[in-house]
A and B are shown apart, each in its own frame.
Chain A
Amino acid sequence: MTDSQLIAAALAVPATGAGLVALAGRWPDARETLTLAAAAALFAAVLALLPAVLAGARPELIAWDLLPGIAIAFRAEPLGMLFALVASGLWIVNSIYSIGYMRGNKERNQTRFYACFALALAATMGIALAANLLTMFLFYEALTLVTWPLVTHHGDAEARSGGRVYLGILLGTSIGLLLPAVIATWAFAGTLEFTPGGILRDAGLSRGALAALLALYMFGIGKAALMPVHRWLPAAMVAPTPVSALLHAVAVVKAGVFAVVKVIVYVFGVDALAGSGAADWLPAIAGFTIIAASIVALRSDNLKRRLAYSTVSQLSYVVLAAALLTPLSVAAAALHIAAHALGKITLFFAAGAIYTAAGKTQVSQLDGIGRRMPWTMGAFAVGAASLIGIPPAAGFLSKWLLFQGAASAGHWLAIAVLTVSTVLNAAYFLPIVHAAFLREAPGGEPAHGEAPWPIVAALVFTAAATLALPFAVGVPLGLARSVAGIPPAGISP
Chain B
Amino acid sequence: MSAEQLPALVVVAPLVAAPVALLARRALPAWMVATAACGFSFVAALALAVQVTSGGAVSYALGSWPPPWGIEYRVDVLSAFVLVLVSGVATVVAPFAWASASAELERERLYLFYALYCLCVAGLLGMTATGDAFNLFVFMEIASLSSYVLIALGRDRRALLSAYQYLVLGTIGATFYVIGIGLLYLMTGTLNMADMAARLSDISSTRPVLAALAFITVGVSLKLALFPLHLWLPNAYTYAPSAVTAFLAATGTKVSVYVLLRFYFGVFGTRIVLEELPMSQILLALSVVAIVTASLVALWQADLKRLLAYSSIAQIGYITLGISMASREGLTAAVVHLFNHGITKGALFLLVGGVALRAGHAGFDRLQGLARTMPLTSLGIVIAGLSLIGTPGTAGFVSKWYLVLGAIEAGRWWLAAFIVATSLIAVAYIWRFVEAAYLAPLGGATPRAGEAPAAMLVPAWILVAASVWFGFDTSYSVQGAARAAALLLQ
User: Which of these binds chain B: A87-95, A175-183, A226-234?
Assistant: A175-183
Interface 0/1 of B354-389, CB less than 8 Å to A: 000000000000000000000000000000001001
A146 to B389, alpha carbons, bound, how many Å?
A: 16
Contacts of B435 in A (CB 8 A): 160, 163
A149 to B439, alpha carbons, bound, how many Å?
A: 9
The winner among A65, A172, A176, A187 for most chain B CB atoms within 10 A is A187
Whether A172 contacts B424 by the Cβ 8 Å rule is: yes
Q: Is A28 positioned at the interface, with any CB of B under 8 Å from its CB?
A: no
Whether B401 contacts A67 by the Cβ 8 Å rule is: yes
Please report the total number of B residues contacting A with Cβ < 8 Å. 31
- B interface majority secondary structure: helix
Contact of B474 among A67, A138, A164 (CB under 8 A): A67
Interface 0/1 of A155-175, CB less than 8 Å to B: 100011001100110011001
Query: Given A145-B386, A159-B439, do A180 and B479 touch, yes or no (CB 8 Å)?
Result: no
Q: Is A271 positioned at the interface, with any CB of B under 8 Å from its CB?
A: no
In B410-427, which residues have CB < 8 Å from any A CB?
416-417, 420-421, 423-424, 427
In B153-195, which residues have CB < 8 Å from any A CB?
none
Q: Is B29 positioned at the interface, with any CB of A under 8 Å from its CB?
A: no
Whether A67 contacts B398 by the Cβ 8 Å rule is: yes
Contacts of B405 in A (CB 8 A): 183, 186-187
Contact of A187 among B409, B424, B431, B438 (CB under 8 A): B409
Whether B438 contacts A149 by the Cβ 8 Å rule is: yes
A152 to B439, alpha carbons, bound, how many Å?
A: 8
Q: Is B53 positioned at the interface, with any CB of A under 8 Å from its CB?
A: no
Contacts of A171 in B (CB 8 A): 424, 427
Contact of A179 among B398, B420, B474, B482 (CB under 8 A): B420
Whether A167 contacts B427 by the Cβ 8 Å rule is: yes
In the complex, what's the smallest C-beta–C-beta distance from A441 to chain B, in angstroms? Answer: 38
Whether B421 contacts A66 by the Cβ 8 Å rule is: no
Whether B475 contacts A141 by the Cβ 8 Å rule is: no
Whether A180 contacts B404 by the Cβ 8 Å rule is: yes
Whether B421 contacts A138 by the Cβ 8 Å rule is: no
Contacts of A187 in B (CB 8 A): 405, 408-409
Q: Is A72 positioned at the interface, with any CB of B under 8 Å from its CB?
A: yes
Contacts of A134 in B (CB 8 A): 392
Contacts of B301 in A (CB 8 A): none
Whether A68 contacts B398 by the Cβ 8 Å rule is: no
Whether A183 contacts B386 by the Cβ 8 Å rule is: no
Please report the total number of A residues contacting B with Cβ < 8 Å. 32
A145 to B389, alpha carbons, bound, how many Å?
A: 12
In the complex, what's the smallest C-beta–C-beta distance from B429 to chain A, in angstroms? Answer: 13
> CB-nearest residue of chain A relative to B400?
A179
Q: Is B473 positioned at the interface, with any CB of A under 8 Å from its CB?
A: yes
Whether A167 contacts B431 by the Cβ 8 Å rule is: yes
Whether B424 contacts A160 by the Cβ 8 Å rule is: no
Contacts of B392 in A (CB 8 A): 134, 137-138, 141-142
In the complex, what's the smallest C-beta–C-beta distance from A147 to chain B, in angstroms? Answer: 14
A186 to B431, alpha carbons, bound, how many Å?
A: 30
Q: Is B322 positioned at the interface, with any CB of A under 8 Å from its CB?
A: no
A192 to B133, alpha carbons, bound, how many Å?
A: 45
Contacts of A180 in B (CB 8 A): 404, 408, 416-417, 420
In the complex, what's the smallest C-beta–C-beta distance from A280 to chain B, in angstroms? Answer: 23
Interface 0/1 of B448-490, CB less than 8 Å to A: 0000000000000000000000001111001100100000000
Interface 0/1 of A378-405, CB less than 8 Å to B: 0000000000000000000000000000
Q: Is A281 positioned at the interface, with any CB of B under 8 Å from its CB?
A: no
Contacts of B421 in A (CB 8 A): 176
A184 to B417, alpha carbons, bound, how many Å?
A: 12
A453 to B93, alpha carbons, bound, how many Å?
A: 56
In A90-148, which residues have CB < 8 Å from any B CB?
134, 137-138, 141-142, 145
A134 to B471, alpha carbons, bound, how many Å?
A: 13
> CB-nearest residue of chain B relative to A186?
B405
Query: Given A68-B478, A138-B393, A183-B401, do A175 and B408 touch, yes or no (CB 8 Å)?
Result: no
In the complex, what's the smallest C-beta–C-beta distance from B193 to chain A, in angstroms? Answer: 30
> CB-nearest residue of chain A relative to B474?
A67
Whether A183 contacts B408 by the Cβ 8 Å rule is: yes
> CB-nearest residue of chain B relative to A157?
B439
In the complex, what's the smallest C-beta–C-beta distance from B65 to chain A, in angstroms? Answer: 41
Contacts of A65 in B (CB 8 A): 474-475
Whether A72 contacts B390 by the Cβ 8 Å rule is: no
Q: Is B204 positioned at the interface, with any CB of A under 8 Å from its CB?
A: no
Q: Is B391 positioned at the interface, with any CB of A under 8 Å from its CB?
A: yes
A233 to B482, alpha carbons, bound, how many Å?
A: 41
Whether B420 contacts A155 by the Cβ 8 Å rule is: no
In the complex, what's the smallest C-beta–C-beta distance from B419 to chain A, in angstroms? Answer: 9
Which residues of chain B have a CB within 8 Å of any CB of chain A?
386, 389-393, 398, 400-401, 404-405, 408-409, 416-417, 420-421, 423-424, 427, 431, 435, 438-439, 472-475, 478-479, 482
**What 8 A-B pairs are tightest by C-beta distance, nearest first?**
A138-B392, A183-B404, A187-B408, A155-B439, A176-B420, A180-B416, A141-B392, A183-B405
Q: 19 extra interchain contacts, Cβ-Cβ under 8 A, other than A65-B475, A142-B392?
A: A64-B473, A66-B474, A67-B398, A67-B401, A68-B474, A138-B393, A141-B393, A142-B393, A155-B438, A163-B439, A164-B431, A167-B431, A168-B427, A172-B424, A176-B420, A176-B424, A180-B416, A183-B408, A187-B409
